[in-house]
Amino acid sequence: MNQVSVLGVTGSIGTSSLDVISRYPEQYRLYSVAAHSNWQKTAEIVKKFQPEKVAMWNPEAAEKLSKELNCEVLQGMEGLLELCSDKQTDVVINGLVGSVGCLPTIRAIECGKRVGLANKETLVMAGEVIEKKLKENPKAILLPIDSEHSAIFQCLAERPVSEVESIQLTASGGPFRNLPLADFNSITIEQALKHPTWSMGPKITIDSATLMNKGLEVIEAHFLFRVSYDQIKVVVHPQSIIHSMVQFVDGSLMAQLGAPDMRVPIQLSLSYPRRLPLPCERVDLAALQQLSFSAPDFQKFPCLRLAYQAGRRGGTAPAILNAANEVLVPQFLAGKIQFTDIPRLLESCLEDSVIADQPDLNTILTADAQARQLASAKVSASGVLQT
Ligand SMILES: NC(=O)c1ccc[n+]([C@@H]2O[C@H](COP(=O)([O-])OP(=O)(O)OC[C@H]3O[C@@H](n4cnc5c(N)ncnc54)[C@H](OP(=O)(O)O)[C@@H]3O)[C@@H](O)[C@H]2O)c1
């Protein structure tokens, strides 16, 4: 029996994780859960799955949940770290959104856990630190949950990086793939929240519309698979059937296909190297008629260019980009800035930040905090406030 901790249990990844766990009660048990403030949904989950430990980030929500369940509820970062260190936990599924996911990932690695990582922000911020921690803790294993990285992981099938020519990271292109650049200034929140193929939390949905999500995934791929940025190509594939590909040096192109369903990579992160049955939609190739591909438009989606730029610069640049983006996306969702202000202010934050090389964790966390302050100040000073 594998005991599983699901961080971000109330979110989109959390919900899919619960579905997978509940299909295999002889193999997986939900041992602990964490959420931010949605104590009502967490209470329902706890009543149904009876985990041993519960954590809520928000202290008021933790208190309400504790009263509702008549049990101890852990709080804040300490709570998340305790779940990751628990000796009874075998697997941590990190479905937290944002840079808050970084320290729990590190703790889980230090404690030798299997980590199913959906929280890409972890690797964007602290890729080199994570790499070092994995070397120091050979019992720990990090398995990607992002569907693209799960696909690459499967296509690589443990071949050495010297056999890889390039990684072809597929992108749906988001809802504005065909929108003329001239119309980008009038993009509304509702339009940006409508993803054509995936159903996800609000932050990643906006990141998918700006293509920042793909940019973060480029950086994530660099650290996960140790390939250079020149070897990572983004290819727009609107059907989201091919989840990514690996081009090998002999010209063979390996792809992983499947219907867009996050339960597939989540389940694989639990069961790897085995595969378990999953009654999800199958791809009907004959019915598909066509799969299309095109190059991304860096002019319409400057966030993708900025991510390559920050990744190539290295040091704290990706952490700064990520933190500023985490400030700007909620500002867009609150109607305070326009869609096109996201890349504009991001670029300005990168330009105005001092980038540290080979940062340790403290330097990364400081850079993250400073970038948040800078981005907030830029929103206030930018004169684009609509409210
Ligand atoms: N959704 C997808 O299909 C998908 C695909 C690939 C990768 N990812 C990645 O997976 C991560 C989660 O995405 P999502 O779409 O599942 O997001 P989501 O639906 O917004 O869910 C986020 C979850 O994290 C919890 N949370 C947020 N801050 C927390 C904190 N400080 N402490 C404890 N819990 C916290 C939330 O709790 P509350 O509900 O209480 O706020 C919620 O359970 C992101 O990094 C995303 O990029 C998602």
Which pLDDT tens digit goes with each residue over 193-205? 997 777 788 999 9
**Tens digit of each residue's pLDDT (9 = 90 or more) over 221-275:** 999 999 999 999 999 999 999 999 999 999 999 999 999 999 999 999 999 999 9
Ligand 1 midpoint to CA 44 (Å):
18
Q: How far is the CA of 57 from the centre of ligand 1 (A)?
A: 13
Tens of pLDDT, residues 205-228: 999 999 999 999 999 999 999 999
Ligand 1 binding pocket mutation candidate from 78, 97, 145, 149 (most atoms within 8 A of CB): 97
If one residue of 195, 200, 322 were mutated to test the ligand 1 pocket, choosing by the most ligand atoms within 8 A of its CB, it would be 200
Ligand 1 atom closest to the Cα of residue 37 is: 40
Pair 367, 353: CB distance under 8 Å? yes
For the stretch 156-171, pLDDT in tens is 999 999 999 999 999 9
pTM of the model: 0.96
Q: Which pLDDT score, from 0 to 100, does residue 305 have?
A: 98
Identify the pLDDT of residue 198: 73
Q: Is 34 helix (H, G, I), strand (E, B) or coil?
A: strand
Residue 360 structure tokens: 């340790």
Share of the chain above pLDDT 70, in %: 99
Ligand 1 centroid–CA 149 distance in Å is: 17
Q: Ligand 1 centre and the CA of 8: distance in Å?
A: 5
Judge whether residue 188 has pLDDT over 90: yes
Q: Which atom of ligand 1 is nearest to the CA of 56?
A: 33
Query: DSSP assignment, residue 179?
Result: S
Confidence of residue 384 (pLDDT cuts 50, 70, 90): low
Ligand 1 cavity residues, CB under 6 Å? 8-14, 34-38, 57, 95-97, 100, 118-121, 146, 198, 200-201, 203-204, 262
Task: Please give the average per-residue pLDDT across 20-49, as a whole number.
Answer: 98
CA 204 – ligand 1 centroid, Å: 9
The alpha carbon of 290 and the centre of ligand 1 are apart by a number of angstroms equal to 33
- For the chain, how many helices (H) and strands (E)? 16, 11
- Over the stretch 106-127, which tens digit does the pLDDT of each residue have? 999 999 999 999 999 999 999 9
Average pLDDT over residues 42-66: 98
**Rg (alpha carbons) of the chain, rounded to whole number:** 20
pLDDT at position 382, please? Answer: 81
Which residue among 7, 20, 36 is best mutated to probe the pocket of ligand 1, counting the most ligand atoms within 8 A of its Cβ? 36
Q: What is the pLDDT of residue 196?
A: 76
Residue of 204, 219, 224, 240 to mutate, ligand 1, most atoms within 8 A of C-beta: 204
Q: 286: CA distance to ligand 1 center in Å? A: 35
Pocket probe for ligand 1: among 12, 205, 267, the residue whose CB has the most ligand atoms within 8 Å is 12
What pLDDT is recorded for position 289? 85
**Residue 386 pLDDT class (50, 70, 90 cuts):** very low
Ligand 1 center to 201 CA (angstroms): 6
Integer angstrom CA distances of residue 182 from 59, 201, 207, 306: 45, 28, 20, 20
Tell whether the model's pLDDT for residue 385 goes beyond 70. no
Please write the tens of the pLDDT for every residue from 271-295: 999 999 998 999 999 998 899 999 9
**What pLDDT score does 41 carry?**
98
Among 38-42, 92-96, 287-291, 356-360, whose mean pLDDT is lowest?
287-291
Q: What is the 3-state secondary structure (H, E, C) of 286-313?
A: HHHCCCCCECCCCCCCHHHHHHHHHHHH
Buried b (16+ CB within 10 A) or exposed e, 277-306: ebeeeeeeeeeeeebeeeebeeebbbbbbb
Residue 197: its pLDDT value, please?
75
Give the pLDDT score at 387.
Answer: 41
Find the 150 Cα to ligand 1 centroid distance in Å. Answer: 18
Distance CA 372, CA 161 (A): 35
pLDDT, residue 383, reads 67
State mean pLDDT over 48-62: 98
**Mean of the per-residue pLDDT values of the chain:** 96
> What pLDDT does 23 receive?
96
Ligand 1: residue whose CA is nearest its atom 23: 8
Catalogue the E-assigned strands of 202-342.
232-236, 242-248, 253-257
